[in-house]
């Protein structure tokens, strides 16, 4: 049972509102570098997706036991989507145990919404996928070997490939900015200066908090297990090659629900909330 917070004591949500100011110059630059890697060079565009709230900083050695929520590597050929019930780790967490932090704005991942083919022309892999699972959230990335802004990870099955050579029927790991993590893991994603600042603001004590924290960017959508999406992907792998995954980039612009088939395929515009033809965002043969 959660203890009601003292209204005079700053909560994790109160402190998160000031997170971007706690980063400092070094933390902000590190955040920019990581987000640009995730965005796969999506950097010269017109529409801002949000603000400087993520810190992607190395905080020393990784934990002695690093949980690996996504063990399945690309290449396995699963059964048709729908033959196995989708798994959603987030659905198993009681809502009362989740503190949803105020969404920040993102100042360096950009998307040119004036160009409907921006994602297709910019990202190396574009596909229609089925989200087989949401395996959980993480703040330590096996790709970078660093603590990162919370991410959601899971598995997806490729239904149709429009660019990049992924074979239909292939199951692959995915990751995406924004996620639900245990508060202890969220705390580890902060650099020492941020932690010290929060402790100082709270009289030397940890801020009042729930068991879990959700942090994502303003106006972004939540990925849902069991749904089909058009995704714009950036492949990446760890330095030792032991882990590979595809980053779903572009926030709400890079994850668009899809329905129908053939010439009747439609994709959801998350800004206008209207369905559009696939050919308006993917260069079809």
pLDDT by residue for the chain (285 residues), tens digit each?
555 555 444 455 554 544 443 333 233 333 333 443 333 333 322 233 332 233 222 222 333 222 333 333 444 445 566 567 899 999 999 999 999 987 766 544 578 888 999 999 999 999 999 999 999 999 999 999 999 999 999 999 999 999 998 999 999 999 999 999 999 999 999 999 999 998 999 899 888 889 999 999 988 999 999 999 999 999 999 999 999 999 999 999 999 999 999 999 999 999 999 999 999 999 999
Per the CB < 8 A criterion, the answer to whether 255 and 248 are in contact is yes
Question: With contact defined as beta carbons under 8 Å apart, do 155 and 135 qualify?
Answer: yes
Cβ atoms of 153 and 175 closer than 8 Å: yes
In this prediction, residue 165 carries a pLDDT of 85
Classify the C-alpha dihedral 230-85-216-142 as positive or negative: negative
Q: What is the pLDDT of residue 111?
A: 80
Task: Give pLDDT, residue 46.
Answer: 29
At what angle are helices 24-38 and 192-201 packed, to 10 degrees?
Answer: 120
pLDDT of residue 106: 54
Q: CA end-to-end span of the chain, whole Å?
A: 57
> What pLDDT score was predicted for residue 59?
26
- Report the C-alpha gap between 156 and 44 in whole angstroms: 29
Q: How far apart are CA 233 and CA 135, in angstroms?
A: 18
Number of Cβ within a 10 Å radius of residue 14: 17
CB 174 within 8 A of CB 157: no
pLDDT at 94: 96
* pLDDT score for 188: 92
Q: Are 172 and 125 in contact (CB under 8 A)?
A: no
């Amino acid at each position: 049972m959660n203890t009601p917070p003292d209204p005079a004591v700053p909560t994790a949500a109160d402190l998160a509102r000031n997170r971007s100011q706690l980063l400092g110059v070094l933390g902000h630059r590190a955040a920019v570098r990581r987000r640009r890697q995730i965005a796969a060079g999506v950097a010269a565009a017109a529409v801002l997706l949000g603000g400087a709230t993520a810190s992607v900083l190395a905080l020393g050695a990784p934990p002695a036991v690093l949980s690996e929520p996504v063990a399945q590597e690309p290449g396995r050929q699963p059964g048709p989507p729908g033959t196995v019930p989708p798994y959603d780790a987030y659905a198993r967490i009681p809502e009362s145990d989740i503190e949803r932090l105020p969404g920040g704005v993102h100042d360096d991942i950009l998307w040119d919404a004036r160009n409907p083919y921006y994602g297709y022309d910019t990202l190396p892999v574009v596909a229609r996928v089925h989200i087989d699972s949401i395996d959980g959230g993480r703040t330590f990335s096996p790709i970078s070997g660093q603590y990162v802004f919370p991410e959601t990870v899971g598995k997806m099955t490729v239904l149709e490939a429009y660019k990049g050579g992924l074979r239909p029927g292939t199951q692959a790991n995915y990751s995406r900015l924004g996620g639900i993590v245990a508060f202890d893991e969220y705390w580890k994603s902060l650099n020492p200066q941020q932690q010290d600042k929060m402790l100082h603001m709270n009289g030397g004590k940890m801020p009042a908090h729930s068991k879990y924290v959700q942090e994502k960017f303003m106006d972004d959508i939540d990925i849902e297990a069991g749904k089909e999406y058009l995704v714009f992907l950036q492949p990446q792998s760890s330095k030792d090659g032991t882990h590979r995954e595809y980053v779903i980039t572009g926030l709400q612009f890079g994850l668009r629900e899809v329905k129908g088939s053939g010439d009747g395929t439609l994709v959801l515009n998350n800004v206008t909330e209207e369905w559009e033809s696939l050919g308006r965002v993917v260069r079809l043969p």
